[in-house]
Amino acid sequence: MKKEPFKLNNDSSDKQLSPRYVQVYAAVNDWISRGVYPIGEKLPSETELCRLFDVSRITVRAAIEMLERQNVVERIQGRGTFVLQSGVKKSPDRGNFGELMQNLERLAKRTTLEDLEIGSRQAAELAKDLDIDAEDEIIHISYKRIRDSEAIGFAEIFIPKYLGFDVSCDDIKGTALPSLLISKGIQLQGAHQLIGATLADARMAQLLGVTAGAPLIYLRLQIIGKDSRPVELLSAYYRGDRYAHHAYLDMESSPNLESIS
């Protein structure tokens, strides 16, 4: 998959700016966590990464060494660097879809949206996640989520156009997208939710008002329709200092603890 050159944050006036190798590490680690480079796939060469990020070979090597120490990638002499793991468990935990919907609605009611944009594009690299062809058209929604006059997150949502789902900016404000899908007659079956940690690259740092390399929470949500096909894909980043996950763990619905050794 060809990538366009990636602009790092080089503002020398920012004394808290993370080193460039950390910014490269954050970007590559994010690609891996989002499945752009799945397990077993070869990463771009050092020369290609130098071109993409406009950095020296020393900087790229330092970033790859960080990933290697975390057992995310493996360097094989004469062959290149390959992805070992993405940090995603193969067998997900089971959760309650109704509670997820309530959490999404609560977030929508307690925050506002800025820089809201709705457009369309080809599915391309998202085709597999949406179970459609790469040439198929999808709706692309993006926005910053604001609380207390401060950006706390940035999200992008992708919806297959074959669903015939029409949405406006007014529809999205104050309502979670899954609720809108239901209101439009699209039946939902469940969702795959992934919550992980990453570091802000230059783009996310600028969008969220943090320094490059700052900790972020990454949220990926794939909503599944009644025919077991994805109807929505959400990719969101939240500031680590503004995100908290609260869950109540019910003892009665837990397995017999005496049988766990």
Same domain? 110 vs 142:
yes
Spatial distance between the Cα atoms of 223 and 192, rounded to a whole number of angstroms: 7
Reported as a single tens digit per residue, the pLDDT across 46-97 is: 999 998 888 899 999 999 999 998 889 999 988 999 998 765 555 566 778 8
How buried is residue 232: exposed, middle or buried, by Cβ count under 10 Å (0-12/13-18/19+)? buried
Q: Are 234 and 157 in contact (CB under 8 A)?
A: yes
Q: What is the pLDDT of residue 6?
A: 53
We report the CATH number of the domain holding residue 70 as 1.10.10.10
In a domain, 12, yes or no: no
Using the structure block, give the residue that is written with the tokens 């999200």: 155
Where is the domain boundary, 83, 110, 126?
83
**∠ CA(108), CA(110), CA(115), 5° rounding?**
60
Based on the fold, state whether residues 138 and 234 are members of the same structural domain.
yes
Identify whether 50 is part of a domain: yes
Q: Are 120 and 137 in contact (CB under 8 A)?
A: yes
CATH number at 152 reads: 3.40.1410.10
**Same domain for 204 and 147:** yes
Cα(125)–Cα(142) distance, rounded to whole angstroms?
17
Q: For CA atoms 237, 238, 239, 240, give the dihedral sign.
A: negative
Residues 121 and 62 in one domain: no
Which pTM was predicted?
0.71
CB 56 within 8 A of CB 71: no
Residues 211 and 105 in one domain: yes
Q: How many domains does the chain have?
A: 2
Residue 131 placed within a domain: yes
pLDDT bracket for residue 191 (50, 70, 90): very high
Closest CA to 125 of 41, 183, 191, 67: 41
Residue-level pLDDT at 91:
55
* pLDDT (mean) for 181-197: 90
Q: Find the domain containing 173 and state its range.
A: 97-239
Residue 10 within any structural domain of the chain: no
Give the model confidence (pLDDT) of 83-113 as tens digits. Answer: 987 655 555 667 788 888 888 899 899 999 9
Are residues 107 and 232 both part of a single domain? yes
132, 125 contact by CB (below 8 A): no
| Per-residue model confidence (pLDDT) at position 19 | 80
Residue 103 to residue 153: CA distance in whole angstroms:
15
